[in-house]
Amino acid sequence: QVQLVESGGGLVQAGGSLRLSCAASGSFFSINAVNWYRQAPGGQREWVAGIASVGVTNYADSVKGRFTISRDNAQNTVYLQMKSLKPEDTGVYYCYADCAVRIGLPRYYWGQGTQVTVSS
């Protein structure tokens, strides 16, 4: 079984920074693409950023220039560095990863989420 554990959330004032981590553990062959999503209170889950196995990154327009996604393959961990935070960044942040069983056999997992609250 594979577990994804997010950490690093918390309460921060507008303009502040946080770094989220998503650590994978368990039995898998490789971690391929990893994405961060967020869900605001009463809202739908929305995609925030993604990183491919080779390091190519993509961002939602709402966070481009403020958030940076990166990965440490040796630690099976993906990070989301968030700067210039705004109240509208508030929500539960989830990572979603393809932890392949073997080449060509992807398996997708969600983490449990970490709360980010940005006060104005």
Contacts of 42 by beta carbon, 8 Å cutoff, 6+ apart: none
pLDDT per position as a tens digit, 9-18:
999 999 999 9
pLDDT at 59: 98
- Written in H, E and C, the secondary structure of 78-119 is EEEEECCCCHHHCEEEEEEEEEECECCECCEEECCCEEEEEE
Written as one letter, the residue type at 106 is P
The pLDDT of residue 23 is above 90: yes
Q: What is the pLDDT of residue 76?
A: 95
Measured CA distances, 1 to 24, 73, 85, 101 (Å): 11, 19, 34, 10
